[in-house]
């Protein structure tokens, strides 16, 4: 095992996934890639109704929250003594984006929490972890 990707949204479930992935990376001296993917908070039609300044502010807010989410996860992983840690923040479909990153960066495994911050959405359209398990072409570990 040389590199493992862990997805986080800052939820308790994601924190458990980061903990698991950091311990695994530490034990196998693997590189740890911590990823946060934001789907955006508004449908395109509503977003387009905002002024340019409001759109810029909303994008900046998402970027800031995502950056803080991966930084917090990195601090958690460092407390476990994981050493080779990289961070990545993206916007897009969380499951597909995580899979794409894992493929592009040739990650050995993907670690995600069973449930993230979007519980109601997960019940309605399927959780991110379920989509990743269904679509990924590499090992996926789902942490309860």
- For residue 124, the enclosing domain spans 3-143
pLDDT, tens only, 42-101: 777 887 888 889 988 888 998 999 999 999 999 999 999 998 999 999 989 999 999 999
For residue 37, report the phi and psi dihedrals to the nearest 5 degrees: -125, 120
Comparing CA positions, the residue from 59, 69, 64, 67 lying closest to residue 11 is: 69
Q: Give the residue-averaged pLDDT of 90-119.
A: 89
Separation CA 130–CA 137 (nearest Å):
14
Q: Which two tokens stand for residue 108?
A: 């050995």
Q: How many domains does the chain have?
A: 1
* The pLDDT of residue 117 is above 60: no
Say if residue 111 is exposed, middle or buried (CB neighbours under 10 Å; 0-12, 13-18, 19+): buried
CATH label of the domain that carries residue 33: 3.40.50.620
């Amino acid at each position: 095992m040389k590199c493992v990707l862990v997805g986080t949204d800052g939820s308790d479930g994601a924190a458990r996934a980061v903990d698991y992935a950091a311990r695994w990376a530490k034990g196998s001296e693997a590189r740890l890639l911590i990823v946060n993917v934001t789907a955006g908070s508004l449908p395109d039609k509503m977003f387009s109704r905002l002024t340019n300044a409001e759109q810029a502010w909303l994008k900046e807010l998402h970027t800031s929250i995502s950056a803080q989410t991966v930084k917090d996860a990195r601090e958690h992983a460092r407390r476990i003594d994981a050493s080779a840690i990289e961070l990545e923040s993206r916007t897009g479909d969380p499951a597909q984006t995580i899979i794409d990153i894992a493929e592009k960066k040739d990650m050995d495994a993907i670690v995600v929490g069973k449930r993230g911050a979007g519980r109601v959405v997960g019940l309605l359209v399927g959780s991110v972890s379920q989509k990743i398990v269904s679509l990924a072409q590499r090992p996926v570990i789902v942490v309860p």
